Amino acid sequence: MIKIKNLAIVIFVMILSILLAIASFGAGNPEAYLFPRIITSIMLLLSLLLLVFHFYEKDYQTETINILKLSPILILIIFFIFTGEYLGFYFSTSIIFLTICYFYFPQKKDVKKLLFFLLIGTCFMTTIYFLFSFFLKVQVPRFFLL
Amino acid sequence: MEFFNYFSNVFTFANILILILGTIGGLLLGAAPGLSPTMAVALLIPFTFHMSPEQGLIMLGAVYTSTVAGGAISAILLKIPGAPANIATVMDGYPMAKNGKSTEALHYCFISSFIGGVIGILVLIFFTPVLADVALKFGPSHMFWIAIFGVTVIASLDSKSIIKGLFSGAIGLWLATIGYDAVLGVERFVFNPIFSGGINIIAALVGLFAIPQVLSMLEDKQSQADQFQMEKKNLFESFKYNISRIKALIVGSTTGTIIGLIPGAGGQIAGLVSYAQIKKTSSNKENFGKGEPDGIIAAESANNAMVGPSLVPLLTLGVPGSPTAAVLLGGLLIHGLFPGSNLFTVYAETTWTFINSLLVAQFMMLIFGLYISGLAKYVMKTPTHYMAAAITILAIFGTYSVQHNFADVIVMLFLGTTMFFLSKFGFTAAPIVLGIILGPIAETNFNQAKIIADTQNGIFDYLTSGPLNLTIIALCLISILYGVYGDKEKRKTR
């Protein structure tokens, strides 16, 4: 569990606004960057208002995020971003399916359960394969035969 | 009566098949707790990319209509609204099911959804061409303000805080500027080559609506409530009783229609307002919350009556009447259809076929809703881990299939994960999506206005002169002030 305070989000929003404003105002060609400059100025103003209201309203809201529970899916997302194109979509998404099913299954897990998830995953991925490769004719990145 | 000319277009074999599949799929998706109509439509948009514009829009329209109604199934049987639009349905639907009247409650739900839905679509049919003609008189400055109005109104109605809503809208508008500037051909904010094509609308839609849902599904321990058995109930009797509750039907349909016409409002507000209205005016107030059929009839007729009118500002001005309509706007744009009078002149056949299909979809929703609502119990029982895995994989394949570009998948996953963390603190996806969609419209019209204004008294004067500009600016300010008022009220109740 990690606790994130509202102030942390307000500061994140402020830093984001400042960075985007620097990117917009620091770029050449004022004509092309006029609209983004107006938008980032509004973002700066709104983030300042958020900061003012945070202290004015004493909005000390704290949100808890169950990062431990979310870590398998977050790791999977990062894994897919870096390897999806090389390992192929069918192979890497099959790993995603299996991992989500296994890690987030609320009851006791054993080899029998893992084989069951493998069966469900194979059926689901076969449907996806026929839907995308045959019906929609989408050629996704592949790895060996998958 | 132009819509009559294209009515037969709906009844081709392919279109009817799409309508049936869309309706059944939408009802089942709507019944699954956690799968909102907005997310269902967002996930489906990539698939429609491979269809003709007509067929794609028919599919999205059928899913939009039926997911709103399907959400009532889990609201009644599980006390978990399938969609935000069904929150009001829980109040009397679940007590009715608890009293052994779950089939009766589902009958009222689909019959009143049908009646409300048909009224809403008729409003869409008769109002849209009129408003589209008015839109013809709009110049660049008006269109710029209309785009800004779309963002401000959804920021104030779909957010927990007006400042956070407006900030989300501004992020969306900024994201839309990534990539090549259409007028000057300058590359902007391409920090990495994957952004050179800009942010793909579909990647943003799928990411912002589907991924946060997956992450919250996996984070929460969802306890499944008891599901009630369905009793046998004569359908004809339900029809007779439902029709006799004319007051609840009128209150629901009228409220839903009016709220649908207000940009950004959506089905949740329609359902809750009509429920409050019928409760206030009913002679048996004490029965509400204990299984009063009028509560279901008013709420369900309202949230489906909202569907048609929510498309009126969308098709004419590009300002969606609900978050799902905002996603539908993405569906229009990927088929090269831009809101405005062109839809009723150049693309009249596609537009009218789509609108007519929405009317037919109401009948399909009634028929299939009444007969397959029992099947939905299997979907409702689908374990969260299967649902999350399936949505993630569909989101990945769906996003990739639009442009065959892996960068879109990365953008989708990045935006979705960031949105999940931001949503914990009151930031919502709808204003960001609308900012991304309306951003190019706002910027193009702003640049055109600037070119015109340079020959006159300057951009500020050009954008703020004339009654129409002032009216739209006033509407923007009213929507922001409404958000400020809403925030103040929320603080009072805290």
Q: How far is residue B45's CA from residue B358's CA, in Å, rounded to a whole number? A: 17
* Cβ(B370)–Cβ(B107) below 8 Å: yes
Q: What is the pTM of this model?
A: 0.81
What local confidence, expressed as pLDDT, does residue B296 receive?
92
Q: Which of B174, B390, B393 sits opposite A36 (nearest CB)?
A: B174
Residue of A19, A34, A46 to mutate, testing the B interface (most B Cβ within 10 Å of its Cβ): A46
ipTM: 0.92
Per-residue model confidence as pLDDT tens digits over A115-136? 999 999 999 999 888 888 877 7
Phi/psi of residue B393, nearest 5 degrees: -70, -40
What local confidence, expressed as pLDDT, does residue A108 receive?
81
Nearest 5°: the CA angle B393, B394, B395 is 90
Structure tokens at B336: 């090269």
Average pLDDT score, chain A: 87
Which pLDDT band holds residue B100 (cuts at 50, 70, 90)?
A: confident
Per-residue model confidence as pLDDT tens digits over A51-63? 998 888 776 677 7
Residue, of B129 and B66, whose pLDDT is higher:
B66
B490 inside 8 A of chain A by CB: no
Residue of A51, A65, A79, A100 to mutate, testing the B interface (most B Cβ within 10 Å of its Cβ): A100
Where in chain B are the domains? 2-493
pLDDT for B274 beyond 60: yes
Residue, of A34 and B81, whose pLDDT is higher:
A34
SS (H, E, C) B296-317: HHHHHHHHHHCHHHHCHHHHHH
Which range (A28-37, A64-73, B366-375, B418-427) has the least confidence? B366-375
Of the candidates A38, A44, A41, A46, the one whose C-alpha atom is nearest the C-alpha of residue B163 is A46
Report long-range pairs for B186-194 (Cβ below 8 Å, ≥24 apart): B186/A29, B186/A32, B188/A27, B188/A32, B188/A33, B188/A36, B189/A23, B189/A36, B194/B407, B194/B410, B194/B411
- Residue whose structure tokens are 């169950």: A66
pLDDT for A92 beyond 80: yes
Per-residue model confidence as pLDDT tens digits over B31-85? 776 677 888 888 888 888 888 889 999 999 999 888 888 888 888 887 777 777 7
Q: How far is residue A34's CA from residue B446's CA, in Å, rounded to a whole number? A: 10
Q: How far is residue B438's CA from residue B432's CA, in Å, rounded to a whole number? A: 10
pLDDT for A73 beyond 90: yes
Closest residue in B to A66 (Cα) is B219
Per-residue model confidence as pLDDT tens digits over B437-472? 888 888 988 988 988 888 887 888 889 888 889 998
Distance from CA of B188 to the nearest CA of A (A): 8
Q: What does the buried/exposed string (b/e) look like for B447-463 if buried means 16 or more CB atoms within 10 Å of the residue's CB?
A: bbbbeebeeeeebeebb
Tell me if A139 and B404 make a contact (CB, 8 A cut-off).
yes
Which pLDDT band holds residue A40 (cuts at 50, 70, 90)?
A: very high
* Cβ(B342)–Cβ(B132) below 8 Å: no
pLDDT for A36 beyond 90: yes
What local confidence, expressed as pLDDT, does residue B239 receive?
84
Nearest 5°: the CA angle B431, B153, B453 is 95
Distance from CA of B438 to the nearest CA of A (A): 13
CB-CB neighbors (< 8 A) of B50 in chain A: 136-137
| Tally of CB atoms within 10 A around B17 | 11
Q: Which of B186, B219, B400 sits opposite A140 (nearest CB)?
A: B400
Cα dihedral: B334, B338, B339, B344 (round 10)? -110
Residue, of B335 and B410, whose pLDDT is higher:
B410
Per-residue model confidence as pLDDT tens digits over B210-256? 899 889 888 875 555 555 666 677 778 888 888 899 999 999 999 98
Per-residue model confidence as pLDDT tens digits over B352-369? 999 999 999 999 999 998
What local confidence, expressed as pLDDT, does residue B222 receive?
55
B409 inside 8 A of chain A by CB: yes
Tell me the pairing of strands A62-65 and B179-180. unpaired
Residue of A47, A59, A62, A77 to mutate, testing the B interface (most B Cβ within 10 Å of its Cβ): A77
Amino acid identity, position B234: N
CB-CB neighbors (< 8 A) of A31 in chain B: 184
Q: Which of B386, B396, B404 sits opposite A101 (nearest CB)?
A: B386
Per-residue model confidence as pLDDT tens digits over B135-189? 777 888 988 998 898 888 878 876 778 899 999 999 999 999 998 877 777 888 8
Nearest 5°: the CA angle B325, A138, B178 is 55
Per-residue model confidence as pLDDT tens digits over A1-23? 777 778 888 999 999 999 999 99
Which range (A93-102, B161-170, B276-285, B484-493) has the least confidence? B484-493
Phi/psi of residue A2, nearest 5 degrees: -120, 145
CB-CB neighbors (< 8 A) of B52 in chain A: none
| Tally of CB atoms within 10 A around B185 | 8
Nearest 5°: the CA angle B319, B320, B321 is 120
pLDDT for B88 beyond 70: yes
Tell me if B219 and A31 make a contact (CB, 8 A cut-off).
no
What local confidence, expressed as pLDDT, does residue B319 receive?
79
What local confidence, expressed as pLDDT, does residue B1 receive?
66
Q: How far is residue A69's CA from residue A72's CA, in Å, rounded to a whole number? A: 7
Q: How far is residue B241's CA from residue B236's CA, in Å, rounded to a whole number? A: 9
pLDDT for B316 beyond 90: no
Which range (A52-61, B284-293, B402-411, B461-470) has the least confidence? A52-61
Closest residue in B to A102 (Cα) is B385
Tell me if B219 and A66 make a contact (CB, 8 A cut-off).
yes
B388 inside 8 A of chain A by CB: yes
Contact residues, B window 234-263, toward A, CB-based 8 Å cutoff: none
What angle do helix axes B323-334 and B37-48 make, rounded to 10 degrees?
0
What local confidence, expressed as pLDDT, does residue A139 receive?
79
CA atoms within 13 A on the CB side of B371: 8
Distances (CA, A) of B328 to A43, A69, B118, B368: 27, 33, 19, 23
Tell me if A13 and B386 make a contact (CB, 8 A cut-off).
no
Tell me the pairing of strands B187-188 and A62-65. unpaired
Per-residue model confidence as pLDDT tens digits over B5-24? 888 888 999 999 999 999 99
